[in-house]
Every structure is written in structure tokens, then in C-alpha cells.
Amino acid sequence: MAFLNKIISNAHTFSRLMDVVDKAPQWRKQLLAKKNDLRGGTFRDAAMGMCALVAAADGSIDPNERMRVAGLLGTDPVLQNFPADELRALFDDNCQRLTADPAFGRAHVLQQIAKAAGKPTEAQAVVQIGIMIGNADGNFDPAEIAAVREACGTLRLDPAQFGL
């Protein structure tokens, strides 16, 4: 019976994750509609913190993850409100902190994410960016989901709102 419950639970989890993936184009449109509201340093810092948190979710940041994020920084219309070099420097700094001292780096990154906590539009956009980063390779794995869920807690948002 436990085995059957695990299969049913995993199927439900898979179904919820597919819902998250299916919502990505809708979220992209929402982010584009809010582009003019996402111009401040609070959003910039929180978004780069989220990108680093998701990239490091599995315990390391490999070159492919850095390239995925670099591609997003250079092409994402919402992030084009900011100079790409500035975004890359913030992302690299966050990644360096997470790599050099994982505990303090994580605390720093979550502090960056928390900057958007009192701003619902920015906080939701940060979570949506985290989900898109996590799913950029077509595999939104459990460690990445856990990282985004943790960020939701930091931002005082319900992860269920995002299908997590």
C-alpha cells in the first residue's frame, strides 16, 4: 500500500510541476506587462539573488548554469531595464559568495531576495524568474523547486500560488 501511495503522490507532484511548466508562457506575458514596474534596485538585487540561489540549488554552480543565466540576462526583456554588465556582476558576486561559504552565501542571497518582500509585484516576478531559471534546461529538479519554495517563504508568498 505504501508503494501505491508513493506512486500516486509522485504522479500528483508530476502533475503539479507540469502545471508550472504550462504556466511559463502566461507568466512571461505577466512579467512583460509589469516591465515598467520592475525598474528598481530592489527587484534587480532580488532577481539576481534568485538566479544564484536556483543555480546553486544542487550544491554547485556548473558552467552550463552560468551560461543559462547569462543568456537570460542578455535577452530577457524584463531584465533589459538594467545594464547586462551590472546584472552579471551581481549574479557572479552572489555565486562567488555561495561557492566560497555556502552558509553565509545563502544567508546573503536570501537577504537580497528579501528586499522584495514588501512589494507584491516585485516579489511575484522574482519567484517567476526563479521558476523560469529552474526550468530553463527542461528539468525543474527537486533541489531547484526547494530553493524557489524557500525564496517564497522569504518573500512571504504561498508557494502553492505558483504550483509549488
Mapping DSSP onto H, E and C, the string for 63-79 reads HHHHHHHHHHHHHCCCH
Q: What pLDDT score was predicted for residue 8?
A: 43
> Is the alpha carbon torsion for 102, 119, 92, 89 positive or negative?
negative
Q: What pLDDT score was predicted for residue 35?
A: 58
Backbone φ, ψ for residue 137 (5° rounding): -95, 5
Q: What pLDDT score was predicted for residue 15?
A: 47
Backbone φ, ψ for residue 39 (5° rounding): -110, -10
Low-confidence ranges of the chain (pLDDT < 70): 1-37
Q: What pLDDT score was predicted for residue 22?
A: 55
Q: What pLDDT score was predicted for residue 17?
A: 47
Q: What pLDDT score was predicted for residue 31?
A: 59
Amino acid at site 103: A
